[in-house]
Chains A and B, each alone.
Chain A
Amino acid sequence: MTANLLIGLREGLEATLVVVLLMAYLAKTDRRHLLPRLWAGVAAAVVVSVGFGALLTFGPKGLTFEAQEAIGGGLSIVAVGLVTWMVFWMARTARTLGSDLKSRVDRSAGGAGWGLAVVAAIAVGREGLETALFLWAAAKATGESTQPLIGALLGLAVAAGLGYLLHRGVLKVNLSRFFTWTGAALIVIAGGVLSYGIHDLQEARLLPGLHSLAFDISGAVPPSSWCGTLLKGTLNFSPATTWLEAAAWLLYVAPVLFLYLRTNRKAPAGPAAPGAKAAVKAAAAV
């Protein structure tokens, strides 16, 4: 029961975090009207995953192992690209909030809003197929016992609950810090997603080095423990990390975070700076 709950929690958190940070961003910049698109993306991912999972479980054809890993790994790497793009887009549009008329920003957000839906869909769909396969297996086992299904659903519910609390918490954070920290958090999360994607591709033998471990602390942080689950669910941290994964993480997080923080620091000095804070505050107050 606990073990199944932890699986639901882990997979749920992986998807929830990105969605929550995007939601908070939309709320903070007073673009709540874009939320339905975000939800549409999430819903589409859930429907596709669940449908595909059912088809693969009950249909005449299954997915080869390589295909499963390549989809998982490929989607992860796309997700990283999208989230990175998103972070810089957020930093940039947050800056333009001050100098631009709100309506213009909204116009630009009209197109980007669908992009948002794609980010949400991929963030959820990335782990969605795996989770759906798990849930269908649990549903098949209900004849013997309903515990696995309940456990997994409970885990997903806890993940959603944590996501909601995080959402509420993030909304209370001071505005200028909010933009810095959400962006930074998304970059760190994306770094984890990238190294996980690399691991998937290593397993599918599209990349080498699956057995060259940089470190293995799975004895100290068992992957099946609460602690391991939270680390994996939030940061995609793997207690047994290969050199390639570690290198990918560092090579992504270090320069991207640097560039991001530089962009952010520049913001107040830029042409848009003087009125920025006031305008954002005004927008947030509405």
Chain B
Amino acid sequence: MPGFSLPQKPRHAWRNRPAGLAAAVVAVPLLLTGCTDNTKAADTSGGAIEVVSSNTECKVSTGRVPSGNLNFSVKNEGTEVTEFYLLASDGLRILGEVENIGPGLTRNLVVTAPAGTYTTACKPGMEGDGIRGALEVTQSGNQPTADADFQHLLDTATAQYSSYVKDQSEQLLSGTEQFAAAFAAGNTAQARDLYAATRQHWERIEPVAESFGDLDPQLDAREADLEPGQEWTGWHRAEKDLFPPAEYTAMTAAERSAIADRMVADTKDLVERTKTLEFTADALGNGAKELLDEVATGKVTGEEEIWSHTDLWDFQANVDGARIAFENLKPALQQKDAALAASLDEKFAALQAELATHAEGSGFASYDKLAPEQVQRLASLVDALGEPLSRLTAAVVL
């Protein structure tokens, strides 16, 4: 009776297995990732963030929102189906999305987002990379309850800092490629324009770059610091040629190309290596302090950019890097030492305000134009910030 026994087996399998399996598959993710508040209450700014997607535009009603639950209300005013994404600052990791927003429809997206920089994107027609914009999420102070776990706060901090480093190193690479092309082609004016702005990406993540003992001297050695027999390459080699001192023999075209190619190759190497870096909370805290020391020893004295005098750009970038590391750690610091967090906030703001008085166009005044008392003021603000900043690591890690 082969035909009789055969259908018996599936009968039991059918009844029990699929239904149970289906229930498990639905229940498990629900338990793991769960539900989230449908907006309103948790959002301190009051309403939803309005996003209007048309066929050619992706308008977000605000560029800055406080952290917590972000509620996007995405309206499609175009003629094609659209999608909306909230991406991490690397522009790749999807934090939230709504698909299938038909013309004339509004759909909501709720994402719990800690402070940091994000990318928003609408994708009309569901093709390509979409129309992108930046969104800054500021620290709201009222911590989402899910973040109460201290280790979780530290993990979030290091994860955010690591995407910041990736983002900066990638921008450094694309900037370096443009700079190197202009430099190699003998396009001095353009290379000078790009010099300080591109270096900012380097200066923001300098402690990370310096952790690669071989790349740092190849890319950032100063002539004064060269050891005997060491080959001089990198940014400052190019700087000297772009902003030549008296009695300087300009490089040949071949020399320029060699320097340019080497810079691009070394920067690519840097980007590759930062991809696999893992950060710890103490690395963030110490990195912030290192950046400020960098300012105190190199920038305030004006010896870093001895020919281009773009020290204030580097100054700002070092402060940026330190502030980002601090802000990433801030939610954790607030639990351990709220007074220190407040003091750091205040001192960063004071230094930033002083730096802002030297802004010129999209950049900064030439450092050799600063009066001695102006330099003195900056130096004292750096010192005032350095003291509490040196306590950051201990406060968070111990």
Task: Enumerate chain B residues within 8 angstroms of A1, measured Cβ to Cβ.
Answer: 103
Check A60–B38 contact: CB distance below 8 A: yes
Check B81–A71 contact: CB distance below 8 A: no
Q: How far is the CB of A62 from chain B (nearest CB, A)?
A: 4
Give the contacting residue for A130; candidates B18, B81, B95, B99; CB below 8 A. Answer: B99
Check B18–A67 contact: CB distance below 8 A: no
Task: Enumerate chain B residues within 8 angstroms of A77, measured Cβ to Cβ.
Answer: 25
- A109, B11: Cα distance in complex, Å: 7
Task: Enumerate chain B residues within 8 angstroms of A218, measured Cβ to Cβ.
Answer: 126-128
Check B111–A65 contact: CB distance below 8 A: yes
- A99, B93: Cα distance in complex, Å: 57
Check A211–B15 contact: CB distance below 8 A: no
Given contacts A4-B103, A74-B25, contact A271 B111 (CB under 8 A): no
Check A222–B35 contact: CB distance below 8 A: no
- A144, B77: Cα distance in complex, Å: 12
Check A4–B33 contact: CB distance below 8 A: no
Judge if B39 is at the interface, Cβ distance under 8 Å. yes
- A223, B219: Cα distance in complex, Å: 45
Render B82-122 as a binary contact track against A, CB cut-off 8 A, 1 for contact. 00000000001111110111111111111110000000000
Q: How far is the CB of B258 from chain A (nearest CB, A)?
A: 34
Check A78–B22 contact: CB distance below 8 A: yes
Check A63–B106 contact: CB distance below 8 A: no
The chain B residue with its CB closest to the CB of A105 is B7
Give the contacting residue for B125; candidates A110, A224, A271; CB below 8 A. Answer: A224
Check B109–A65 contact: CB distance below 8 A: yes
Check B10–A223 contact: CB distance below 8 A: no
Given contacts A61-B35, A75-B22, A144-B104, contact A114 B4 (CB under 8 A): no
The chain A residue with its CB closest to the CB of B107 is A137
Given contacts A115-B15, A222-B125, contact A137 B33 (CB under 8 A): no
Judge if B26 is at the interface, Cβ distance under 8 Å. yes
- A7, B3: Cα distance in complex, Å: 45
In the complex, how many residues of chain A place their beta carbon closer than 8 angstroms to a beta carbon of chain B? 70
Question: Which residues, 13 to 37 on B, are CB-close (under 8 Å) to A?
Answer: 13-15, 18-19, 21-22, 25-26, 28-30, 32-37
The chain A residue with its CB closest to the CB of B96 is A65
Check B22–A65 contact: CB distance below 8 A: no
Judge if A181 is at the interface, Cβ distance under 8 Å. no
Secondary structure dominating the interface of A: helix
Q: How far is the CB of B249 from chain A (nearest CB, A)?
A: 47
Given contacts A62-B35, A104-B3, A271-B2, contact A219 B29 (CB under 8 A): no
- A147, B105: Cα distance in complex, Å: 10
Task: Enumerate chain A residues within 8 angstroms of B99, measured Cβ to Cβ.
Answer: 130
Task: Enumerate chain A residues within 8 angstroms of B369, measured Cβ to Cβ.
Answer: none
Given contacts A62-B38, A108-B11, A115-B15, contact A134 B25 (CB under 8 A): no
Given contacts A6-B81, A115-B14, contact A67 B6 (CB under 8 A): no
B interface residue count range (under 10 / 10 to 19 / 20 to 34 / 35 or more): 35 or more
Judge if B8 is at the interface, Cβ distance under 8 Å. yes
Check A71–B26 contact: CB distance below 8 A: yes
Q: How far is the CB of B329 from chain A (nearest CB, A)?
A: 24
Task: Enumerate chain A residues within 8 angstroms of B11, measured Cβ to Cβ.
Answer: 108, 110-112
Question: Which residues, 194 to 253 on A, are CB-close (under 8 Å) to B?
Answer: 203, 205, 210-211, 218-219, 222-224
Judge if B151 is at the interface, Cβ distance under 8 Å. no
Task: Enumerate chain B residues within 8 angstroms of A4, measured Cβ to Cβ.
Answer: 81, 102-105
Q: Spot the interface stretch: A24-32, A89-97, A165-173, A260-268.
A: A89-97
Judge if B79 is at the interface, Cβ distance under 8 Å. yes
Check A81–B21 contact: CB distance below 8 A: yes
Given contacts A3-B81, A65-B109, A108-B8, contact A74 B26 (CB under 8 A): yes
Render A1-35 as a binary contact track against B, CB cut-off 8 A, 1 for contact. 10110110001000000000000000000000000
Q: How far is the CB of A278 from chain B (nearest CB, A)?
A: 16
Closest CB pairs A-B (n = 7): A108-B7, A115-B14, A111-B11, A70-B29, A4-B102, A100-B3, A74-B25
Residues of B within 8 A of A (CB): 2-4, 6-8, 10-15, 18-19, 21-22, 25-26, 28-30, 32-39, 79-81, 92-97, 99-112, 125-128
Given contacts A6-B81, A112-B7, 11 further A-B pairs with CB under 8 A are A62-B37, A62-B110, A65-B97, A67-B29, A74-B29, A75-B22, A107-B7, A114-B15, A133-B107, A151-B102, A223-B125
Residues of A within 8 A of B (CB): 1, 3-4, 6-7, 11, 56-57, 59-67, 70-71, 74-75, 77-78, 81-82, 85, 89, 92-93, 96, 99-100, 104-105, 107-112, 114-115, 118-119, 121-122, 130, 133-134, 137-138, 140-141, 144-145, 147-148, 151-152, 203, 205, 210-211, 218-219, 222-224, 271-272
Q: List 15 A-B contacts (CB under 8 A).
A: A61-B38, A65-B95, A71-B25, A74-B28, A93-B7, A104-B3, A108-B11, A115-B13, A122-B18, A134-B105, A203-B94, A205-B93, A205-B94, A218-B127, A224-B126
